[in-house]
Each structure stands twice: as C-alpha cells, then as structure tokens.
Amino acid sequence: MSAIAESTLRQRDADHMLHPYADLKAVAKSGPLIIDRGEGVYVYDTEGRRYLEGMAGLWSTSLGFSEPRLAEAAARQFAKLPYSQIFGDRSHEPGILLAEQLTKIAPDGLNHVLFASSGSESIDAAAKLVWYYHNQIGKPAKKKLISRINGYHGVTVAGGSLTGQPHVHADFDLPIAGILHTDCPSHYHFGKVDESVEAFVERIAGNLEALILREGPETIGAFFAEPVMGAGGVIVPPPGYFERIQAILRKYDILFVVDEVITGFARTGEMFGSFTYGLKPDMMVVAKALSSSYLPISGLLMTDAIFEAVAQGAAKNGVFGHGLTYAAHPVCAAVALETLAIYHERDIVAHVKAMAPHLQNGLAALQNHPLIGESRGVGLIGAVELTRSKAAREGFDPTLGLGAFIQSRGLAHGVILRVLRNAVAICPPLIITEAEISEFFEGLRRALDDGLAHARDKGWM
C-alpha cells in the first residue's frame, strides 16, 4: 500500500494531472482509481483491493505486472549504459541486437527498423516515409493516405488524422489534408439487412476501389490498417476481407502499412496478426507488447525497397532528416530484448493457442446474455457488444453512461474492463491461465447482470 494517503493522492491528481480519454472535470471531481502495485495478471489499488486486469493495462502488459527478468534486465542496463543515442554514426549493443531480432521474427522482407518510443510516433514516421519514399522513386503525387472508419493509429497529428474516430478529431483541426477514410469491416455494425458476410466484403472492397479511382490512383500513397481493430471496438476482419483489400492495393501500387501495436507478439495466436490474416506489409509498426510495456519503445519495420529509397534520399540530402532522442534507448531496448527472449523460451504463441479457446468460449457463452448483441474475438483478444435490441442491433447512446456503469461494477466484482462506446473490450495479459480466465468471466458476467438491471430500471430497454 502507498505510504501517502489515498485522499491526498487524489487531490494532487486533481490539481495537476490531465487524464487522456477522460472528462477532465469529472475525473477531478470524482477522483481516479489509483493503482499501487501489480502481481501476475492482477493489480492492487492503494487500499489493497485486487483486480484482474482484463485489458493488460492498455492492450499491452503481455507478461503481467511482476516479471522479474524485465526488471533485472533494466537494472543491468541502467548500471552499464543508461543512455546513448543513435544519431549519425553512433550505436549501441542493445539497439543493434533488438533490430536484428525483430527482423528475424517479422513477416518476410521486413529487414530494417526505425525505432521510436510509442506507436503514435512510429505511425507518424510511417506517414513521413510514405511521402519520402514516393519522392525518391519519382512519384511525388502519391501522397494521400487511406485508413478506416473506427480505426485507431494514435493521437499525434498524422496518427490522429489516420485514426477514424470523431473524438480524436474534434476541435483539434484533424484530420489534416490528404487523409481519407474508408469502410470499417464490421458486418455487425455496417452490414445491410439480409446482406451476407461475403456480399458485405465485396461491397466495402468495392467502395475502397471506388475511392481510389475517384481520388486518382496516382495520388494514393498508402493504406493503413490494424489486423484487428482495437480501440474501434475489437473488430475482427471477416473472412476474405484482407485478401480483397491487398489485391486492390497491389493493383494500384499502393503501400500497405500494418499497425501491429495491439496485435503484435502473439495476441492473435500467431507472433503477428499479419501471420493470422495473411498480410504482406510494406511497413509494420510494433510497440506495447514489444517490451510488455515495462518501458516505452516502438519500431517501424520496412522492406529493402523502402530502405533503399530512404538511403538514396539521405545521400541526396546529405542526411536522413528524421530521428528522436529516445530512439532505441538502450534500457528500453534491453528490456525489449529480454521480453522477446521470454516469448521464445516460454513459447508464448503455444500458450496463447492453448488459452484462446477458453477465452473465446467465454465470449461465446455471453452471446445469450440479454444485454449482448454479438461476441467476437481471436486469440486472447475479444469483445462483447452491448445492445438494447438484439434484433435491431441497436446500441445504447453513450451519453447514458451505461458503459461507465458496467466498468464501475466490474471493479466491484474484481475485474478491470474497458467499454468502447458499446463494446466491452477484453485483452488480458498473455500469461493468463485457464482458472484466471474463468475468474475474469465470472466478474464480467456479474457486471453485465448489474448493467442489465440498471438499464431496465432506467427504462433504456
């Protein structure tokens, strides 16, 4: 437990802290839940209450909250070389070894890595390199970027523009020019009445091609996509979707940038979501589980063709004019290397494949709950969709606050949930066991039962 009284911490928080994705005044008034320590898949608040972390922090703490090897790796590197930069001709061993290791396990052809500290930074770098690349190969008009409605690629200027969620754009003057959005591949939300999944895929693929033709293929530089949409509600791509999309991208010579920030490192049951869905990226972004989020680090992987064009531009301009102070930070890189070693030694992919049926069966069992319209997922990620009418697939107005109520009831039942509009997202640490999955679903079901009673009491359904 914290040595500082919880009430004192809450007031200091209200006085000084801005909380992302929050009603700032409301949080200042009610006070935050202050997490004090972690152990395995559990975290504890300052009053000693234990919660099973159903979101692995922010989709990210893959090895749980108390992996000693990561703390030890950080301590060793802090003692040896706490910081060194990689600008110009400087380098260091942890960064070199991490770049090498990432290219060994990545999809074929991704042989070069540009490091940063967060997924958002690496997404911005990807956008810049799309433009840089096309300038070098004599196609300077190919600058427009396409992403998807409800997709999430961060909140920085380029990443926030690529994100297809209105609250990320509102009053920030986003998206910037040259960013286009196409259909979200959720048949549940956007399929027409009596439209089959196959017909839905053909329709939205056709819409993408129509958008490309309308804008001019010679102006489209890249398409950005998550293998599974995370913050957009855990949208699992329908069968055949990415096959059709990639064929269109190849047809019009459009780069494919795959955002593996959430799906990377075994989350979907393969080392990368790209393997699960047969994706062939020209560039790929990784972060979060790269270090189990113990320290901030991200990477942008790219093909030889893109690297050679970038190197050509650097030679022409005298320097590659992009870089960050903390890129390949030696302590962060050392922790990431140890994380990858643990994944290999413990065969994290096999563990996820063994646990995935238990999590997916738990999701499927909730399909019959009166409050749930759909359950969906893959590997150790999923969601259940809140609905006031199963037949109409009608969700609740987010301003009613049902999602926040269910989250609060989850805490009362010992589980941490995250509700994204009407989707209750589930993304536990990868080390979770069958017994812990059962415990999680018991808490989730109780929270949903409380939510159902609350919705009925309010006359919302």
Q: Are 400 and 247 in contact (CB under 8 A)?
A: no
Give the angle subtended at the CA of 242 by the CAs of 234 and 111, to the nearest 5°. Answer: 95
With a cut of 70, which residues of the chain have pLDDT below it?
1-3
pLDDT of residue 1: 56
CATH dotted code for 70-345: 3.40.640.10
The tokens describing 304, both together, are 């030889």
SS3 content of the chain, % helix, strand, coil (to 5): 45, 15, 40
> What's this model's pTM, rounded to 2 decimal places?
0.96
Which one, of 166, 168, 171, 124, lies nearest residue 145 by Cα? 124
Residue 4: the pLDDT is 80
Q: What pLDDT shows up at residue 38? A: 98
Residue type present at position 147: S
Amino acid occupying residue 434:
E
Output the CA–CA distances (angstroms, integers) from residue 163 to 68, 151, 249, 265, in the order listed: 35, 5, 20, 22
- From the list 329, 397, 424, the residue with the least C-alpha distance to 85 is 329
List the end-to-end C-alpha distance of the chain, in Å, as a whole number.
41
Which pLDDT tens digit goes with each residue over 296-322?
Answer: 999 999 999 999 999 999 999 999 999
Q: Walk across the sheet containing 42-45 and list its strands.
A: 35-39, 42-45, 50-53, 415-416
Question: What's the one-letter identity of residue 425?
Answer: A
Q: What is the CATH number of domain 33-66+347-458?
A: 3.90.1150.10
On whether the CB atoms of residues 278 and 244 are closer than 8 A, the answer is: no
Instruction: Say if CB 426 and CB 363 are below 8 A apart.
Output: yes
Domain spans in the chain, listed from the N-terminal domain onward: 33-66+347-458, 70-345
pLDDT for 385-409, tens place per residue? Answer: 999 999 999 999 999 999 999 999 9
Q: CA-to-CA distance for 120 and 330, rounded, in angstroms?
A: 20
